[in-house]
Amino acid sequence: MTIMRNVMLLFTVTMLFVSDTSAQLSENGDCPDYVASSLFTPLVMLDLINVGEMKLAMSLGSSVDRTHSCQALTFVDGKNYRYTYNDRNGAKRAINGSYQASFPSFISTSHLKLVGGYRNVMGADSSGTSRLVPLAYSPGIIIFVSCSETLWFHNQQFYLLVDSKILLRPEDLDEIEKTLKSVGIIPASLTLDRPDQSCREPDPDVEQEA
């Protein structure tokens, strides 16, 4: 299955399982109750572990996220993760922490809890904890949304992660952003950030899809 077929399948699933609350940067009131994808299962988590490094292809992140480049998230095993990025000065940084995966049940929605991060990096709060809700998934691609509350406002962040072995062309990203807006995941007035991933060179031993 090609990357764009994965993308179209992903957003078909998204239309079925995402809530009617769009991911935005800032709104009044408390964080909304998200309806996570019911397809997020232990087998999906195992697939994410087996994929290895997943690069941040597009986001509606915090002001701190926007100063970083070459971001990537790796689920090392069943309980540990590694998040790497280049800071605003170009220095390579890494966050090593633990995570807990919660799967759909009658009393709670699915989410990933990342512990040991830095505030405002990948949706982390002041304690360095991120709660990422999976909105949709397809092999090699996953969409998360996080939300943090400050006084009378809440801030939502949106993260699209893709298998680092997949090369996305600018026109592929254009199509993804267009689809995200057409199904109401993000407001049409917003423009997604496209983090600089130029630090990643294609692996000559991996056949890249056109």
Q: In the structure encoding, which two tokens stand for residue 27, read together?
A: 């709104």
Instruction: Indicate whether 204 belongs to any domain.
Output: no
If we measure between CA atoms, which residue out of 70, 85, 73, 95 comes closest to residue 194?
70
Residue type, 100: Q
Q: In the structure encoding, which two tokens stand for residue 101, read together?
A: 């995966």
Q: Give the per-residue pLDDT at 138.
A: 82
Using CB atoms within 10 Å of the CB of residue 5, give its burial: 0 to 12 exposed, 13 to 18 middle, 19+ buried: exposed
Instruction: Indicate whether 194 belongs to any domain.
Output: no
Range(s) of the domain holding residue 77: 3-182
C-alpha dist (Å) from residue 16 to 7, 74, 83, 136, 185 = 15, 27, 30, 9, 12
How many domains, the chain? 1
Using CB atoms within 10 Å of the CB of residue 135, give its burial: 0 to 12 exposed, 13 to 18 middle, 19+ buried: buried
CATH number at residue 164: 2.40.128.20
Q: Is the dihedral of CA 184, 188, 191, 197 positive or negative?
A: positive
Q: Give the per-residue pLDDT at 22.
A: 38
- The position carrying tokens 């290895």 is 52
Q: Give the per-residue pLDDT at 104.
A: 78
Instruction: Indicate whether 80 belongs to any domain.
Output: yes
Instruction: Indicate whether 124 belongs to any domain.
Output: yes
Instruction: Indicate whether 136 belongs to any domain.
Output: yes
Instruction: Indicate whether 148 belongs to any domain.
Output: yes
Instruction: Give per-residue burial for 66-92: e unless 16+ CB within 10 Å, then b.
Output: eebbbbbbbbeeeeebebbbbeeeeee
If we measure between CA atoms, which residue out of 153, 138, 170, 171 comes closest to residue 54?
138
d(CA 26, CA 10): 26
Instruction: Indicate whether 203 belongs to any domain.
Output: no
Q: Is 31 helix (H, G, I), strand (E, B) or coil?
A: coil
75 in Cβ contact with 45 (< 8 Å): yes
Instruction: Indicate whether 117 belongs to any domain.
Output: yes
Q: Is 45 helix (H, G, I), strand (E, B) or coil?
A: helix
54 in Cβ contact with 163 (< 8 Å): yes
Q: Give the per-residue pLDDT at 207.
A: 43
* Total-model pTM: 0.80
Q: Kindly give the parts of the chain with pLDDT less than 50.
A: 1, 12-26, 203-210
